[in-house]
Structure 1
Amino acid sequence: MTISDITFLGLRSPLPTPAVFSWGSASERNVGLVRVRLDSGVEGWGETSVTFPLWSLEERAATVAALAPMFIGLPLDQQADISTAISAARTRTERLRSLWSPVGISAALGAIEMALWDAYGKSIEKPVWEILGGRQLAVPLYAVGFGGTPAETAAAAASALAEGFSNVKVRVGFGPEVDEELVRTVSKRIGGGLLVDANMGWSRAEASAMIDRFEPYDLGWLEEPLVRDDVAGYAELHERATMPIAAGENCYCEEELTALAGSGSVEVVMPDLARVGGLSAAIAGARAARGADLTYSTHHYASDIGFAAMLALCAVVGEPAPILRDVSPWPLRTELLSQPLQISPRRALPYEGPGLSPAPRMQVVEEYRTL
């Protein structure tokens, strides 16, 4: 078999209520898909991270189009062909990554790699996690995506826990008083274990002050208090934090992710395979975390095509900490797949069909497609 075509499909849909982060808000959400076609007629699908900024959808379309010719005509007869093709593309773009955008290139290559694995698994009629020596397991979930006032968020968080989610997570980074009121209100309602995500919204001084403010609330973890590349800052916070520190979703290559796992500055490593360069890079990061006696919690904030790939990662690496399940209202998340994944609040199961995930519903793709 050879690779005959690689196509980017960009989808965009409105949100019923805006999603709010420390860096701003969004009233629409993107889905960036990559389709690989083999000369045998088999198709594979991958997903790239284009949640923000909104114009990243247009950037990623151009990046995938530029990378695609590097893969056309290459063989896909054995699993080693995937790593060979991705490695060659990384080598050819190494200088460009330094000159331009490691984010765009890694996220685009990650989607292509996922699509290649999906096509290969479908061509030999096996789940990718089984090909890679994984085992079926029940993956615990935490819920994120709550909005409204602190009291409304607390009520929604309590309901999510009652439904069976292992934990809940809230976003902060909107000012010390606002952040502490939210954490205090939700923690009072649910007890300890609240997960808190600052989305890289603080300076070192601000993060240090917020650690002190949050100390009484027995947090499950504090996620991304600093920008992703402030390694020294994370080490400083780790020395004085009373709660676990989590980071890694915004690492954009395998080397960066494994270095974080070995840095001694976090307790939870969070590989995002739609950003870090694909399934293999994310697996390497998760294994590095386990090898350093840390835990890992995979990250994916887009559609269930990428979520299925994330579950395959867990099946290969082994027991994770609870992983992210977005519960905010956004129908495209689940409507995109031709058959639903096995997901409940208590756990999610890796896809048992061939490849990484069910194929998308093309009617839905075309309904929301903008590129």
Structure 2
Amino acid sequence: MKIQNIEFVGLRTPLPSPAVFSWGTAEERNVGLVRVVLSDGTEGWGETSVTFPLWSLEERAATVRGIAPLAVGSRLESTDDIARIASELIRSTNRLRLLWSATGISAAIGAIEMALWDAWGRVQGRPVWEILGGADTDIPLYAVGFGGSPAEVADTATGLLEGGYAAVKIRAGFDPEADVALIDAVSAVAGDRLYVDVNMGWTRLQASEMIPRLNPFGLGWLEEPLSRDDREGLRALRDLAEMPLAAGENCYSESELVALAESRLVEVLMPDLARVGGLGAAIAGARAARANNQGYSTHHYASDIGFAAMATMCAVVGNPRPILRDVSPWPIRSELLSEPLRIEHGVARPYAGAGLAPAPQPHIIEEHRVL
């Protein structure tokens, strides 16, 4: 059996209300999918990370179309072939990664690799987590994607925690006084079940000023306080922070993710399958974290195709910290799939059908497709 075709499918939908991050505001959201078709007609679907900027959808479409010919025609007869194809794509694009965009290329390869796993699971008639020796297990979730005044956010957090979510996460990296006021309000109801994500929004100086102010809140973790490449700055913060630090979602290669785990600069490693290069790279990073006595929490901020892949990874590696569940109003997240995922009362279980995730619904793709 061979890979017959690789196609990029780009969707875009308006948001009911803008999503605000320390690096910008999004009024629309993208979904970047890759469809692989095998020579026997089997399809597999993967997802890439195209949240922001909005034009990343066009960039990723061009990247997937550019590298797809390197994989089309390749043999797919075992799980080893998936790893081989992904490795060949990485090796074949090494110079291009240096000349242009390592991030976009890794994210494109990750979507292709996920689609290959999905297709292989369908060929075998088994869930991918089962093929990889994983277990059908409960996966705790934390909720993110809700806003309002500090009092409103605290009320929403209370409801989510009472509804079964293991934790809640809010975003910071804006005005320092507003950040502290929000954290104060939510920590009063969440305690150490509150995670704070700065989205790389602080300089070293800002972080050194803010962390002592946040230490008394006893946060569950502080996420991405600095730029992804500032390891020395992170090392300095490690001595300053009394709360666990989390990072890794913006690692764009297996080697970078594993190196972060082995540095022991964070207590929680956060692999993002749609960015780091796919399921295999994310599993390697999570296993490196566990080998270095760290926790891991997979990251995915897009549709439920990628979420299902994230749950598969957790079923294979086992014992994750709570993982991200976006609860913001965005109907396509779940409507895209032909059947709902197993998520109830703040707990997920891996997809029980063949492949990585339920197949997307053609009419939803048709309604929102822009590329």
Q: Point out the more displaced range, 67-76 or 251-260.
A: 67-76
Corresponding residue for residue 238 of structure 1: 238
- Which residue is 2:362 aligned to? 362
Q: Which residue of 2 aligns with 1:186?
A: 186
For the residue of structure 2 that corresponds to 1:330, the secondary structure is coil
CA contact (8 A) 1:117 1:128 kept: yes
Aligned residue pairs total: 371
**SS of 2:8's equivalent?**
strand
Query: How far apart, in 1, do the equivalents of 2:77 and 2:317 lie?
Result: 24
- Structure 2 counterpart of 1:284: 284
Give the Cα separation in 2 of the matches to 1:198 and 1:359.
34
CA deviation map 1:184-219 (0-9, x unaligned): 011123333310000000001111111111111110
Q: Which runs of 5+ in 1 are unaligned?
A: none
Distance 1:191 1:263 in 2: 28
Read off the aligned partner of 2:366 and give its amino acid letter: E
Q: Map Cα deviations across residues 63-89 of structure 1 (whole Å, 9 max, x no partner).
A: 000011011111111111111111111
1:86-97 equivalences in 2 (<5 Å): 86-97=86-97
- What TM-score does the superposition give when structure 1 sets the normalisation length? 0.99
Structure 2 unmatched ranges of 5 or more: none
**Whole-Å Cα distance in 2 between the matches of residues 53 and 19 of structure 1?**
12
Measure, in 1, the Cα distance between the counterparts of 2:32 and 2:277.
14
What letter corresponds to residue 194 of structure 2 in structure 1?
Answer: L
Aligned 8 A contact 2:12 2:30 in 1: yes
Q: Deviations over 1:287-333 (max 9, x none)?
A: 00000000000000000000000000001101100000000000010
Alignment partner, residue 270 of structure 1: 270
User: 1:228–1:251: 8 Å Cα contact kept in structure 2?
Assistant: yes
Q: Quick one: which amino acid aligns to residue 5 of structure 1?
A: N
Q: Which amino acid aligns with 1:294?
A: Q
Q: Which residue of 1 aligns with 2:50?
A: 50
What does the per-residue CA deviation read over 1:95-132, in whole Å, with 9 as the maximum and x for residues that have no partner? 11011101100000000000000001101111111111
Q: Are the aligned partners of 1:261 and 1:269 in contact in 2 as well (CA < 8 Å)?
A: yes
Aligned-residue CA RMSD in angstroms?
Answer: 0.7
Contact 1:235/1:264 (CA < 8 Å) preserved in 2?
A: no
> 2:222 corresponds to which residue?
222
Q: Which residue of 2 aligns with 1:331?
A: 331
Identity %: 64
3-state SS, counterpart of residue 193 of structure 2: coil
Residues 216-258 of structure 1: CA deviation (Å, up to 9, x unaligned): 1110000000000101111111112100000000000000000
1:262 is paired with a residue whose SS is helix
Q: Amino acid of the residue matched to residue 263 of structure 2?
A: S
Aligned equivalents of 2:203 and 2:263: distance in 1?
A: 20
1: CA distance between counterparts of 2:296 and 2:42? 33
TM-score (normalizing by structure 2): 0.99
Shift of 1:143: 0.3
2:301 is the alignment partner of 1:301 = yes
What secondary structure is seen at the aligned counterpart in 1 of 2:33?
Answer: strand
8 Å CA contact retained: 2:212, 2:240: no
Q: Which residue in the other structure is 2:163 paired with? A: 163
CA contact (8 A) 1:193 1:218 kept: no
Structure 2: distance between partners of 1:343 and 1:87: 33
- Letter matched to residue 96 of structure 1: L
